C-alpha cells in the first residue's frame, strides 16, 4: 500500500512529490527493494492482459503473461538506467533514482485497467481506438517524466521536456511493437492502415 500511495502522490503532484523525495535521506536500496516497483508494473500487466484476452485470471495465465511481458518492463528499466546514468546533476544515488523512475507508472496502469476491462466486457476494438485512448496517459506520463528529470536528475526545464518527449516516443514504439507482435505480426496492423486510408479517399 505504501508503494501505491507514493505512486498516487507522484501522479497527482509530480513536481512537489519528486522535490520532497529528492530531499529525503534514505538508506542504501537493496536489489530486492529496487525490483519492487518494476515487479508491481509486471504484476499489473500480467493480471490485466488475461482479463482482456479470455476474461479470467489463473496462476498459469498470469505466469505465462509475466514471462512474455517481462521484456517490456526490462526495456523500461534499461531506459530509466540510461536516463539516470547520463544525468550529471543527479540529486540522489543511482539506485534511488531508478526506484523513483518507476514511481510514475500509474497513468498507464490506470489506462490498461480501464481499457482492458472495457475490451473484456464489450469485445475487441480497433487498433486506432487503442492508440487514441493512449494519448491521455502518454501526456500525463510525459508530465511526470519531465518533473522527474527536473527534480531528481537536476535537468533544466527545456532539457527535461526533451527527455520526456524522447521517453514518450520510445514508449510508443515499444508499445506498438508489442501490440503488433501480440496480433501475430504486421499483417493485421497493415490491413487496418489500408482499410483506414481507403475510407479517407
Residue 1: predicted pLDDT: 43
Task: Give the span between the Cα atoms of 112 and 14, in whole angstroms.
Answer: 21
Cell of 27: 538508506
CA dihedral angle for residue 98, residue 103, residue 108, residue 109, rounded to 10 degrees: 120
Whole-number pLDDT of residue 4: 63
Q: What is the pTM of this model?
A: 0.75
Residue 133 CB contacts under 8 Å (≥ 6 apart), including other chains? 111, 115
The parts of the chain modelled with pLDDT lower than 70 are 1-4, 27-28, 124-127, 175-176, 178-201
Q: Which pLDDT belongs to residue 148?
A: 93
pLDDT in tens, 108-129: 888 888 887 777 777 766 667 7
Identify the pLDDT of residue 192.
47
Return the sign of the alpha-carbon dihedral for residues 41, 46, 47, 48.
Answer: positive
Amino acid at each position: 500500500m505504501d508503494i501505491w500511495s507514493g505512486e498516487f502522490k507522484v501522479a497527482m503532484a509530480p513536481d512537489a512529490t519528486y522535490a520532497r523525495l529528492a530531499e529525503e535521506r534514505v538508506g542504501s536500496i537493496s536489489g530486492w527493494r529496487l525490483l519492487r516497483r518494476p515487479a508491481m508494473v509486471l504484476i499489473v500487466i500480467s493480471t490485466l492482459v488475461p482479463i482482456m484476452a479470455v476474461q479470467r485470471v489463473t496462476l498459469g495465465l498470469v505466469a505465462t503473461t509475466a514471462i512474455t511481458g517481462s521484456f517490456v518492463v526490462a526495456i523500461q528499466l534499461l531506459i530509466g538506467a540510461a536516463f539516470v546514468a547520463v544525468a550529471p546533476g543527479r540529486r540522489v544515488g543511482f539506485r534511488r533514482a531508478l526506484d523513483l523512475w518507476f514511481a510514475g507508472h500509474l497513468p498507464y496502469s490506470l489506462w490498461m485497467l480501464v481499457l482492458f476491462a472495457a475490451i473484456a466486457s464489450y469485445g475487441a476494438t480497433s487498433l486506432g481506438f487503442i492508440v487514441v485512448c493512449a494519448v491521455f496517459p502518454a501526456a500525463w506520463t510525459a508530465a511526470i517524466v519531465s518533473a522527474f528529470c527536473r527534480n531528481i536528475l537536476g535537468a533544466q526545464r527545456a532539457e527535461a521536456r526533451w527527455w520526456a518527449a524522447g521517453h514518450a516516443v520510445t514508449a510508443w514504439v515499444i508499445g506498438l511493437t508489442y501490440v503488433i507482435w501480440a496480433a501475430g505480426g504486421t499483417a493485421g496492423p497493415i490491413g487496418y492502415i489500408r482499410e483506414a486510408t481507403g475510407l479517407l479517399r
